[in-house]
Amino acid sequence: MTSIVTSFATVDPFDGMTGAAPAQAQNLVGGQWVATDKTMTVPDPLNGEAFIEMPDTRDIAPFVAGLRSCPKTGLHNPLKNVERYVHLGRVCARASALLAEQEVEDFFTRLIQRVMPKSWNQARGEVLITRTFLENFSGDGVRFLARGFSNPGDRTGQQSNGYRWPYGPVVLIAPFNFPLEIPALQLMGALFMGNRPLLKSATTVDIVIEQFVRLLIYSGLDPKDLDFIHCGGRTMGRLIEEASDVIRLVQFTGSSDVAEATSVAVNGCVRIEDAGFDWKVIGPDFDKAWVDYVAWQSDEDAYNASGQKCSAQSILFVHDNWAAELLPRLAPLAARRRLDNLTIGPVLSWSNDEIKAHIDACLAVPGAELLFGGKPLDGHTIPDAYGAYEATAVTVPFDALKGEHFDLLTTELFGPFQVITTWGDGDLDDLLGMLERMSHHLTAAVVSADPEFQQKVLGATVNGTTYCGMRARTTGAPQNHWFGPAGDPRGAGIGTPEAIKITWSCHREIIMDQAALGDWETPESM
C-alpha cells in the first residue's frame, strides 16, 4: 500500500485479506483501538476463506459507559462548545481531500468489493458519494447546517429563538449493502448535530467503516467522539437493553423484524429504514425511441449490486403499449451480467435454497411464468451460506395482484429478482390501489412523458423518493432532498441538510424575556 493509505489504514485489500493472512479488526472505545480475547472470522464471499478476524465482543460494559458519559445536551449544541461545528467542518475538508487521492479512492473501492462484491463502478460510486458529502460540509458547512431561527416576541425585550438540539447518546446500526456510504453519511450527520454515537455495522462488512473511522481520526476527529463495536446481533441487542435508559435515539437500517424489536427495546426512540419494495410504472405513452433506454434502466434498477439495494426495482408495471417491444429486451440485458466483473455476485442475506423457495412460490401463482433466469450461478467458489443466482424475472397476471397473492408478490427478495406484470387502459384505478396497499414506501419511478398521467400517479402515491419522466428510475437515489421512506413517522433519511436535521436533532424553542419590569401593577386574576 502507498504511504498515504498506510498513514491511517490497518488492512490491505489488494495483497492481503486472505485465509493465510486475514485482516485484523479492532473496536474503538473510550478513545482507544482495542482487541478482544475472543474473535470471530468472516468468510470471503467469493471463496469462503476466513479473510477477516474481528473482535467477538462480549463485554458490553465499556460501551454502555460510553453512552452514559454523554449528557442529553450532547457534545455540543448552539449554546455549548460551538467551536466544534467549525472543527468538524475542518475534519470534513481534510477527509474529503484524502478521499480525492487516487490511492485512497482505490483503497476504499477495493475494500468494498472484497466484503460486498459489486462492480468496480458500483463500489467506486460509494466512495465518490461519501467524498462529495464531506466536501459539502467542509468549512462552515456544519455550522450552517445547525442554523435555527428567531421570531420577535410579544413586547420589547422578548425574542423567541429556535435551535437544532442534539439527542446526546445515540446508537447507529448500519446495513451490509452499502458498507461505506450509508454508515459514513449517518455517522457524520450524528456528529454534526452534537451527538455521541455508538456505531455498529453488519459484521460481514464492518471492516470498511472501521477503516473510514481511522481516516476521520487521522483527519483530526477526536477518537473519544464515538465508540465503534464489532459484535453479533445478540450482543448488540443486549447492549441496547442494558443502556435503554440513556439511549436517546437509534438509527437502524436492516430487517423489519429487528427494527421492531429494537423499537420495543428503546420505547420507540428509533429512526428506521427497514425495507423497500419499490415499484416502477411504465405509462401508456409508448415511444419507440425510448425502448432501449427504458429497458436498460429497468435492468439496472433491478439487478445492479445483485439487487441488494433497498431502492432496487422489485416490481415492474408495464403498460400494454410497451410490452411487445420492451419485454423481449430484458432477458438479453440480464444475460450480460457476469461474476468475473461482479455485475452479478453473491447475495449476502439469502441462500440459494431461500431464493429458490421464493421464486417457486411466485411461479405457483396461477398464470405466473418464468421470463428469464431462475437458476443458480455455476462455476464459482461462493460459500453455501450466501446466495449465487442468475438475474431472474417472473411475470404474473395483473389480476393476481388483486387478491390473495398480493402479499407474496410484494415481498422483497433482497437479491437479483423482480416481478413483472402488464396493465391496460382500464386498469389504472386498480394499479393505484395496489400502490396504496404496498408498505415501505421508499423509492418509485413513473416512466412517462404525459403530464396528465404523471400527475395522476404522483398525486396518488407517497414514496419518499419518486422519479418521473422517460428517464425515471428507482435506484441511484441522488439525495438532493431526502432519502428515506415516506409516511413512516419513524422513517430516517441520510445525506442532505434536511435529512440530517430531521433525523439527528430535535427542535427546541427558547424564549428570552429579559426586559426591565418598568411600571407594573398586579393585574386582576384571569
| Beta strands per DSSP E along 20-174 | 23-24, 27-29, 32-34, 39-43, 50-55, 149-152, 158-166, 169-173
> In what helix (H) or strand (E) does residue 354 lie, and over which residues does it extend?
helix 352-363
Amino acid in position 394: V
Amino acid in position 369: E
Phi, psi for residue 335 in degrees, rounded to 5: -70, -20
Cα separation of the two ends of the chain: 76
Task: Give the dihedral sign, CA 14/17/21/27.
Answer: positive
Secondary structure class of 41 (helix, strand, coil):
strand
Helix 83-99 crosses helix 207-218 at what angle (to 10 degrees)? 120
Question: Which strands sit side by side in the sheet containing 23-24, from one edge to the other?
Answer: 23-24, 50-55, 39-43
Residues sharing a CB contact under 8 Å with residue 446, sequence separation 6 or more, in sequence order: 280, 281, 283, 453, 454, 457, 458, 466, 467, 468, 469, 472
- Identify which of 193, 72, 259 has the alpha carbon closest to the alpha carbon of residue 504: 193
Q: Which residues are part of the catalytic machinery?
A: 273, 310
Ramachandran region of residue 322, left (φ > 0), alpha (ψ -120 to 50) or beta? alpha
- Using alpha carbons only, how large is the chain's radius of gyration in Å? 25
Q: Are 345 and 339 in contact (CB under 8 A)?
A: yes
Q: What is the DSSP letter of 38?
A: S
**Whats the size of the chain, residue-wise?**
526
Ramachandran region of residue 427, left (φ > 0), alpha (ψ -120 to 50) or beta? alpha
Strands 50-55 and 39-43: antiparallel
